[in-house]
A and B are shown apart, each in its own frame.
Chain A
Amino acid sequence: MDSTILGGWIAAGLTLFMFSSLYKDNPFYRFGEHLYLGLSVGYIILKVIYANIIGGLYKPLFEDHQYMLLIPTILGLSLYTRFFPKIAWISRITFAFIVGYGSGLTIPRIIAGGIFQQIEKIITPLGKTGATWWEVFSGIVIIIGVASVLIYFFFSVEHKGIINKISRVGIYFVMIAFGASFGYTVMARMSLLIGRSYDLIEFATPKYYYATIVLLVLMVLILILYESMRKKEEGSEANA
């Protein structure tokens, strides 16, 4: 049983465990869920130790004498004041540090990358030299769409009269767009399932000693047993 065969059995088993959640919550899914939880936290702790602590803090601080890194260390440690109610307020300075940084950084970039670029992307095709009438028509449709969606999102204006009609147009644009992008992504989601099905079919071949089939049958039997046992238990509890 070299490592690829064993790997196949594990992959087939875990795949069936997680798919069993589609039936209903059962011990197999619960096992897979907690196994995945433990593995992922272990993996993250490992990355934090090697990348954040050793790579990001210990080496630069102690080997390269970058003493500026003491400040984030203190900020990070201040989060642990949460466990001492009297000095818990210190951790709020770290919150303010992170939140302030995020807010300050966002504003100019959102103006440039969000508002300016978006408007430019909408209006430049209109002025393109040699644009066919169809391109200009589509450009105008886009402008009408954007304008009506913006008007739909007005908060301080009652949706009645002309405003109501325009925002209706806006909502129609939004709904067609959401329907279209929903339909567009179905193919990508399906190809994920096609990929898993290929693997399951491959693991059901003699090369892998029919792993998928054996595991599937075992799971179904155990589940039936588990269900009947639970029913008996509930039955005895009910009349006990």
Chain B
Amino acid sequence: MDQFKKLAPLIVAFVMGVFFGLQYYIPHPFTDDLLTGMSKWFIVIGGIAMGLGIVSLFYSHIYKIKRRAPAWGFSFVMFIALFTMLGVGIYCANAEVITETGKQTIYGWLYQSFMVPLQSTMFSILAFYVASAAFRAFRAKTKEATLLLIAAIIVMFARVPMGEAIYAQIPTFQVGGMTIPPTIGNITGWIMKTINMAAQGGISLGICLGVIAMSLKIIFGIEKSYMGSTK
């Protein structure tokens, strides 16, 4: 029995891996229906697995309330918010808007008034963090860091009207149909279309090989730590 316990998942992973690896090359309609069928299956598995998440969340917060851990009051806030959203949602039958009239339901109002501002505010904090990260990280300590810093400054400078206006002051002259110095838009355009594409290309080619190697390790059961206990 022990042998079966260890081998069963490996066999399942191997069979699934080989089958869905070869499915790509077989034009038979059956294999395509299987793909759409499989995505439906994962909707079901994902839905059922949600219970595990809820158990873990409730366990950690109820434990905090029972233990009167510091600031346990906030776990209460979390539960109240959770059950209000859930209750109102079920009351409005998961409809944010009444389809005929286009009128907003309470659930829709709750979503628009609470979730949208919270999400867009968290998103906009990125602007602050971009500035503090730039200030702290762009130090010309090494040759590479200097290149990073110069490229960032050029692109930032070129993207805004003030940058364009300042750059336009530099006199340009024609050399054989080419204006020297080229407009700042062309410079950043060239950096993004050539240097950036080359680096992204090189990195993603490497990633592809890494992904293939990792997938093969999983299918052939060489990498099986995702299954945890081998006892």
Residues of A bordering B, CB below 8 Å: 3, 6-7, 10-11, 14-15, 18-19, 21-22, 27, 30-53, 56-57, 60, 68-69, 71-73, 75-77, 79-80, 82, 89, 92-111, 114-115, 118-119, 121-122, 138, 141-150, 152-153, 170-187, 189-190, 192-193, 195-196, 199
Contacts and interface: CB of A to CB of B under 8 A. Distances in A.
Contact of B126 (A43, A119, A176, A192): A192
B194 A141 contact: yes
Residues of B contacting A: mostly? helix
B169 to A, nearest CB: 21
B124 A100 contact: no
A111 B40 CA distance: 26
B166 interface: no
B154 A93 contact: no
A177 B48 contact: no
B188 to A, nearest CB: 7
B82 A11 contact: no
Contacts of B123: 192
Contacts of B19: 104
B121 A177 contact: no
Interface in B6-37: 8-10, 12-21, 23-25, 37
A145 B227 contact: no
Contact of A69 (B41, B83, B160): B41
Interface string B190-225: 111111111111111111110110111011000000
Contacts of B152: 179-180, 182-183
Contact of A73 (B44, B84, B202): B44
A107 B118 contact: no
Contact of A177 (B13, B190, B195, B214): B195
A127 B209 CA distance: 26
A14 B208 contact: no
A14 to B, nearest CB: 5
Nearest to B206: A153
Contacts of B45: 72, 75-76, 79, 94, 98
Contacts of A73: 44, 48
Contacts of B12: 93, 96-97, 100
22 contacts: A7-B109, A38-B78, A56-B40, A68-B37, A72-B48, A89-B5, A93-B9, A100-B12, A103-B216, A106-B212, A107-B212, A122-B197, A145-B201, A146-B202, A173-B202, A175-B147, A177-B198, A180-B151, A180-B195, A189-B124, A189-B126, A192-B123
Nearest to A181: B196
A43 B115 contact: yes
B49 interface: yes
B226 interface: yes
A14 B114 contact: yes
Nearest to B203: A149
Nearest to A11: B117
B98 interface: no
Contacts of A196: 120-121, 124
A85 B86 CA distance: 32
A45 B54 contact: yes
B180 interface: no
Contacts of B62: none
B168 interface: no
A184 B150 contact: no
B86 A52 contact: no
Nearest to A87: B5
A131 to B, nearest CB: 14
A104 B85 CA distance: 39
B112 A7 contact: yes
Contacts of B79: 38
Contacts of B207: 114
Contacts of A195: 120, 124
Given A79-B45, A184-B159, 8 more contacts: A72-B40, A97-B12, A172-B144, A173-B198, A175-B145, A177-B195, A178-B199, A183-B156
B125 interface: yes
B144 A114 contact: no
